[in-house]
Structure formats: structure tokens, C-alpha cells
A and B are shown apart, each in its own frame.
Chain A
Amino acid sequence: MKSKVIILGLIFCYVLVVVPFSSYLKNRPVMLKLGYVPAGKVLRAIVGDQRYLTAEIYIVRVLFYFGELFGINRERVAVTPEYFNMYRTLENAVLLDPYNTDAYYFSQAAFTWELGRVREVNSMLKHGMKYRTWDYQLPFFVGFNSAFFLNDYQAAAEYMKRAAELSGNPLFTNLAARYFYEAGKTDFGIAFLETMAKSAHDRKLKRIYEVRIEALRAERFLAGAVDRFEKERGRMPESLRELVTSNLIEKIPLDPYGGRFYLDRSGKVRSTSKFAFRE
């Protein structure tokens, strides 16, 4: 009887504490959640045989964190994602296990546009190519990044050729060549993303691509309207609103990253979000 009272009392106390406790944990700063990862080389010496497991744990941690971030953003809660910490974590993960594809795919999907760390992502991908010699996706990514972000068409052609050889599919060489000469950067990007979205199995990755495609389509739509405006009127529009008032388009599309589209001085369509989730 007495011990039952004690146990019930303790459970009551536990419930009283655990509710505010878990909400405190949920709202902790993100860096605290993602944690600090020691430098890959040191870590590799310490974890020894378990480095593959450790790498996987780090990658899963980043994926979990990112998945949760998407949830938050859907509810329009402003959070600055800890992109750099995510990137560093993955960078260390591939040092531990250079074969883990998730790290490469995720880095390519998340860190090129958002973080602008194209050179770092490329060097990570090249590191992976040394190990995953059969994987056509890695040279494909590097080729795309070289062309799209770095304007290094020679390197891009080289890597696309390698991707084509590995996959036995000439599509990749065509992709680079055709879009670059016939269309423009935006169309090239959309084509790349559509290929990626089609082959992505993970819902989070698919979602990253889909949001990006939506943004690029909106950008292409607006850029097309600006072109038509220029042809009809012989001058650049003052602002994007002018496209609507002159009945060229019905309305300015929404930026899926939560930003607002605007026209910069050179007449390019841009967004305040810079196409990344930001505060």
C-alpha cells in the first residue's frame, strides 16, 4: 500500500517534469541537436573498426535533422538551418566511410544551391569517385556543378563523358551539350533536377528537388515574361509588378523558399530568399 503510493507519486512527478522537459529539448538551438563532430582523421583513429557504423550514424543524424527542418518550414516557422554544420558532419562521414552514397547524394542535393559550397561539394564527390569507381552519378554531379555553377565547360564535358561511359547511356553528354547551347542555364538546371527527382527514392531528396524545380520554373516563367516585355516595349520593365499591370502575366508566382521575386539592376529575375531556406 505504502509503496504503491510512493510509486504513484513518483510517476506523477515524472509526468510533471517530462512534459516541459521534452518541449525544452525540442526547442534547443539546432547546433546542440546536431552536435559537434571531431575532425574525420582523428575520429577515424579513435573509432577504429566501427568507422562505417559511425559514418552511418552521422549521416542519419543529418538526414533526420534535415527532415525535421522541412517539417518546421512547412509550418512557416522561421529557423536558420545549420547548413555548415550539416556539411561538416557529412564531410567527416565520407572520410570515415568513402563508400556511403547517402552522404554524396545529400551533399549534392542540399549544399550546392543553399550553401554555395560548390567547390567543396565537388572535391567531396571527386573523393568519392576514387572509391565508387562504378558509380556514374558522382561524375554526373561534378559535371553538372562544373557547368552550372562554375562555368567550367571543359571539365563538365570531361565528367559527363565519364558518366556516359559508366552508365552506358549517352544521355549525359547530350544533356550538357544540348541544353547549354540551345537553352540557358535555368533550363539546364531544370532538366538536371527532373532527372534527379525521377531517380530519387528518398522522399526528402525528392522533396528537395521538387522545391528547387518549382523555384526554377517560376524564375524561368518570369524571365520569359521579362524577355517578351523587352521585345514589345523596347525597354526593361521597372519592376516585376509592371509585368502584371501590362497584362503580360496574371500574377507573380510564389517563391517556394518563402522569398519574394524581384528584378535586379541588370534585369535578372532574383528572389530575396536566394533560393534557400532562410530566416
Chain B
Amino acid sequence: MKSESIHSIEISSLSKTYKGRKGKAVEALSELSLTIQNGEICGFLGPNGAGKSTTIKILMGLITATSGTATLCGLPVTDPGARKRVGYLPENPSLFDYLTAREYLALCGRAFAMDGESILRESQRVLELLDLREAADRPVRGYSKGMVQRLGLARTLLHDPDVFILDEPMSGLDPVGRALVKDILKDLKSRGKTVFFSTHITADVEVVCDRVAVIVGGRLRSVDVVDELLESGIEGYDIQVKNCAPALYAGLTSSPKASDITEIYVPRDRFNEFLAHLGKNGGDIHLIEPKRKDLEAFFLDILGKG
């Protein structure tokens, strides 16, 4: 049904200008172009106020772009039908607080044109999945922040969409909830779903994302494959050696670990040379650990350049 050339999300030269105080134009988003492939999990990383939410709101039709276009599953975002195969989680979701979770999910089910029976079945499934079964028949008014967040996630899963757009999915969750969300994201990935989620926490990206797009000040700074990024970030290795002559690591940082074990930090460009020396002169390698820049350092680098 869906042709290969249709991407899950396609954003091309999207700009958004707000009218600020005294009629001054504030550019929230400038010429953003980004394509999310089918079956990909893409993190959308940026500091607060970078334009992440603006981008996502344009995708969900809450605000209109000043210029540029965006499509979801090939349909322009101005068409309500574009949201049919999309599961969306707003940032700090605010759900009708006088409805119960079940009533809210039923409303969503109707909007997604599900039939009554599958609404009941799927509601039960997602409520159980997100551990909300006990609270399901109470009004949302009495929920904790984490519960509301989980109900928001339940809504995105209700109609088993192909594309997920999540705005800060981890915020407001306790560690158990975070782990749950990570599991769900991994599960979605294994089932070939497309996920586009914004965050300002780099650790989340490292664990689950295929690619990461970094946005700063309304401009897209970089789009990278996470694994490559992590690989390119290796700066050196911590090597623990046994019975090694001290002359071998003269000039390198070292510290004794145990009576006969020493830990030596070897920069990336001297790694091969060091191993060759070690092989020639004798000595046992106890442990090798790559030392790399993490995403956070990489992210800070990008920010620093700006």
C-alpha cells in the first residue's frame, strides 16, 4: 500500500517566525530540512528553546509554518488525515481531567476510526502495558504527573500506528517509568516502527536511537548515525597490564591498580604502537577499555561551536 519512496516524516525548509514584543519578528525555526526513514528511530536533540517543540507542533498541525512544507506518511501536515497513522505524545500532556483514562482512550479510538470492540480490547492492552489498569476508571484529575505521562504514552500505542512522534517522552517519569519507556521504544524498533522523539537528555539517545538530529537556535546543526558518532568519539584506551616493564609506558599516564597490575591510558593514535611494544617485550594484558567522548560531550561541542 505504501510505496517505498514515501518517507514517514519529511520536512523541507521549514521556517516559523513569531511576532514578538513591539512587533519584532522572532525566528523560532529557520530552514529546517529533515527526512525520517521508515523504521528508523531518530532522536531530536537540543537545548531548551531550540525549536524542537515548534517543529513537532507544526508536524502535528497545532501551529502553521511561516514557510516550507512537511508531510507525514506522504500527506501534508495541514490535512487532519495525515495524523491517522501517527501516535503523538505532547510534552507534559494535559488530558481532559474530568474524563477517566478509559473514556479518554475511547475518544481517541473513535478519532482513529477504530470499532467499539477493538477500542475496548486495545485500551485494556495499553493500560496494562503502562501499568494503569487500577486507575483506569478514575478521572484523570487525580493522577500523578507520571501517570498522566504514561496515559499519554498509552494513547500513542492505542491504534498501533506506524509513526510515533514523542515530545520529551521521558520527562516526569521515575526511573522505573524511564526503563519502561526505553523497553517500549526498543520493542517499537524491533517491530519496524518509525519513532521521532525530542529530548534534551543525551543518554536517552545513546541507548535507543539510530540517528540523532541536533537543533540549536532554530537551525539544524547536524544529523548523525549514533553508532558512527560513538565510534568516532573514541579518544584512547585504558589498558591494565600485568608484569610489564615500566620503561614501556614511560611518557604515558599510569597508575598502579594492584600489586602487579598497572593501568595505563593510551591515546588512540599510539594504541597500535603500544600493543606492538607489549608483544615484543612481554607482559600480559589484563583488560582493555575504550575511552570515548560520550554524546553529551559531542552535544556540548556542537553548542560550543555555535
In the complex, A touching B (Cβ < 8 A): no
Binding site for A on B (CB under 8 A): none
Binding site for B on A (CB under 8 A): none
